[in-house]
Amino acid sequence: MKILMCSVPDGSLSNTLKPLLPRGNHYQVPIQPVGILRLMTWMEKVGYSSDIYDINNLRPSDEELIKNFKLTKPTVVGLSATLSHCYPSVKRITKILRELFPDVWIVVGGHLSGSANVLLYKTETDICVVGDGEIPFLKLLDYFKLHPTRRQLDHTELHQIKGLAFIDENHKLKVTGNAEQLSASDMQNPDLDKHRLGLQKFGGNGDLIHEFYEPINNLLNLTENLLQGDLYPEGLKFYEKSKNKKIGTIQTVRGCVARCTFCQRYTKGYRVYAPNDLESRIIELKEKYNVRGISLDDENSLSNRTQAYGTARIFKKHDIYWSCGGVRVTSVTYEDLKFYKENNMLAIRFGIESGSQKILDIMEKKFTTKDVYNAISNCKKLGVATATDQLMIGMPGETKETVIESAQFAASLKYLLGNDWNVSNPFLAMAIPREHLYMNIASK
């Protein structure tokens, strides 16, 4: 059975034809397809091998896609659509696949599968995996082994696999419930060598993998990428000793301890990766990718204090400097911040979202503007870089007054840090299928 796993570009189709790799003068660091790489690592462990075609970053033309699909002749194609605006590309890619291989199984996973109804009725997708992919996809692969083409569709068996959405025997959308999830002890870092092989096979150059690591060659990209805030003496020291080394990303947890109404939660609970796995990934990033600074790309960092302290110690042990985002202001005290700073943390970014208590309550953030002020104040006292423009406007209940309250609050935080009071553009709240905000609006 030939399994081909593909990342899917986001945005309009006209926007997806310019390759993101090699980066040239692109300012933004490309996004690593961690979701499918994790899936492939797990599949490999239980005996299924697969290739990765990083369509999102290579952005091939239709002709090139056709050439590479013909080369692979897949039995199963897994498409990873991590954002809702991957939809146009899912439509395009599945159409090409279906024309080439009428019987191929096409499975779509990632956050877009929250809109499975649209995908299944309007594109050539056969099955969606909703939520964590490892267990449902593996069960699907076992099923595909017995039913190698979609002509042999057997609904009875599909109904038994949790975490799927498909069109059932009565032509109705069927969602089989929450996906089973790997236990924390089974979660592993993804195999980066697989990615390299895929870039070599479909992009002609495995070394493109180095493009995912930002060089530390000017102060601006350090403050923009790793710190997203003030430099402070530690940042400058790090810069001086790490010039021409690189910044990488790592994930140390899955899930979040909160349930903010605007977030598309995809995973249940809060699971932390094993420390030895983290340590071996750090060594790999240092040795193979010349990385000295790491940004934690977690959904919600530092919420498990024991794990967070352990992670900080590992960074210090390997002389890696780090920053993190997605932190709740109530998860870190002054003492915690001090400890993290002593263990090489340079910057921290909190999910602030609003300066209006009324809106914070609507978002169910479960903290106060005072908590936010204290956390930023602690960063200032300790000299830890932090960002204050992490605001969103447009939630239900938002009024001119609450927007002004937010702007004033953001300005007060900037004043506290000693920065220019001008507040930059906030983000706009957007209703996404499967989140509370969306259901709230859809039900009206």
In this chain, which of 51, 214, 234, 299 binds ligand B12, going by CB under 6 A? Answer: 299
Contact flags string 34-63 toward ligand B12, x per CB under 6 A: xxx-xx------------------------
- Amino acid occupying residue 282: I
- With both helix axes pointing from N to C terminus, report the angle between 369-382 and 400-417 in degrees, rounded to the nearest 10: 20
In the complex, the smallest distance separating the C-beta of residue 30 from ligand B12, rounded to whole angstroms, is 9
In the complex, the smallest distance separating the C-beta of residue 441 from ligand B12, rounded to whole angstroms, is 15
In the complex, the smallest distance separating the C-beta of residue 16 from ligand B12, rounded to whole angstroms, is 11
In the complex, the smallest distance separating the C-beta of residue 309 from ligand B12, rounded to whole angstroms, is 22
Cβ proximity to ligand B12: between 127 and 384 the closer is 127
Cβ proximity to ligand B12: between 153 and 416 the closer is 153
Footprint on residues 318-377 left by ligand B12 (CB under 6 A)? 326
Contact flags string 178-217 toward ligand B12, x per CB under 6 A: ----------------------------------------
Nearest to 234 by CA among 322, 144, 137: 322
* Gyration radius (Cα) of the chain, Å: 23
Q: Does 414 bind ligand B12 (CB under 6 A)?
A: no
Tokens representing residue 193 in the block: 């060598």
Cβ proximity to ligand B12: between 36 and 393 the closer is 36
- Amino acid occupying residue 53: Y
Q: What is the per-residue DSSP string for 286-350?
A: HHHH-EEEEEE--SSTT-SHHHHHHHHHHHHHTT-EEEEEEE-GGG--HHHHHHHHHTTEEEEEE
Q: Parallel, antiparallel, or unpaired for β 164-167 and 173-175?
A: antiparallel
Tokens representing residue 95 in the block: 């159409």
Nearest to 99 by CA among 116, 77, 124: 124
Cβ proximity to ligand B12: between 109 and 235 the closer is 109
Beta carbons within 8 Å of 426's beta carbon, 6+ residues apart: 389, 391, 392, 393, 406
In the complex, the smallest distance separating the C-beta of residue 34 from ligand B12, rounded to whole angstroms, is 4
Cβ proximity to ligand B12: between 10 and 211 the closer is 10
Cβ proximity to ligand B12: between 161 and 216 the closer is 161
Q: Parallel, antiparallel, or unpaired for β 173-175 and 427-428?
A: unpaired
In the complex, the smallest distance separating the C-beta of residue 190 from ligand B12, rounded to whole angstroms, is 8
Q: Parallel, antiparallel, or unpaired for β 76-80 and 3-7?
A: parallel
Residue 395 CB: number of other CB atoms within 10 A? 21
Characterize 264-299 residue by residue with b for buried, 16 or more Cβ atoms within 10 angstroms of its Cβ, and e for exposed: bebeeebbbbbeeebbebbeebbeebbbbbbbbbbb
Contact flags string 128-157 toward ligand B12, x per CB under 6 A: -x--xxx--x--------------------
Cβ proximity to ligand B12: between 202 and 382 the closer is 202
Tokens representing residue 106 in the block: 């096409």
Q: In the bound complex, which residue of the shown chain has the CB atom lying closest to ligand B12? A: 109
Count the site residues for ligand B12 by CB under 6 A. Answer: 31
In the complex, the smallest distance separating the C-beta of residue 122 from ligand B12, rounded to whole angstroms, is 17
Cβ proximity to ligand B12: between 139 and 292 the closer is 139
Distance of alpha carbon 98 from its chain centroid, rounded? 28
Contact flags string 93-132 toward ligand B12, x per CB under 6 A: --------------x-xxx-----------------x--x
In this chain, which of 57, 68, 75, 84 binds ligand B12, going by CB under 6 A? Answer: 84
In the complex, the smallest distance separating the C-beta of residue 80 from ligand B12, rounded to whole angstroms, is 3
Q: Does 83 bind ligand B12 (CB under 6 A)?
A: yes
Footprint on residues 250-269 left by ligand B12 (CB under 6 A)? 263-266
Q: Is 7 exposed, middle or buried (0-12, 13-18, 19+ CB in 10 A)?
A: buried
In the complex, the smallest distance separating the C-beta of residue 418 from ligand B12, rounded to whole angstroms, is 27
Tokens representing residue 67 in the block: 């050439």
Residues lying near ligand B12 in the complex (CB under 6 A): 10, 31-32, 34-36, 38-39, 78-80, 82-84, 107, 109-111, 129, 132-134, 137, 263-266, 297, 299, 326, 432
